[in-house]
Chain A
């Protein structure tokens, strides 16, 4: 089945550091990728929709200068948390979608746990 690889799985870094998270579709081409944030014991909050070759679409309240998204190819999207602070600590999950109408499922990565000290 469709596989999405997310890397790294866990990051611990100092406040002020920028952190890059990669999301790769391993056996299919992903025209659209999504980035979610999940707080402890909470649901997933969509941060942005990333389309290959174009600018990401951010959800209301998400700072696009803080969370930089690049979708340079059909198999790779990256999320960079710039100048991270403790409040950015969270579980970030990406998903990939091949395209088509809304009845196609998204395929999720295993997530990245980001801890800012």
Chain B
């Protein structure tokens, strides 16, 4: 079945460092891809999305490009802030009518001043 694999965390960075969180997927069809962020004690917030190959999703300085040839959707940010500390989930939405999401395991990011 479809699946999402994320790099294991935690990722610890200093403020203003460059961030990459790797995400690869396995899917039989043409999924949509998402990054969600979860701050401590809260639910998930959509960070960005891409619906087809070569699409680039971006929001709040974060970017991810839908790479069909490498089945990847890596999350990047050029300069992280302490407020970016959270857990980041890569997810895919299967094709079809129910919009069921399959999540990766999540990557915890800790940014220090």
Contacts and interface: CB of A to CB of B under 8 A. Distances in A.
Contact of B96 (A93, A95, A97, A102): A102
Given A102-B95, A102-B99, A108 B105 contact: no
Interface residue SS majority, chain B: loop
Interface string A98-117: 00111111111111010000
Contact of B43 (A46, A103, A111): A111
21 contacts: A34-B101, A41-B106, A43-B89, A43-B103, A43-B104, A44-B89, A44-B103, A46-B100, A49-B98, A93-B44, A95-B101, A97-B99, A102-B31, A102-B95, A103-B93, A105-B34, A106-B99, A108-B36, A108-B43, A109-B43, A111-B42
Interface of A: 4, 6, 32, 34, 41-44, 46, 49, 93, 95, 97, 100-111, 113
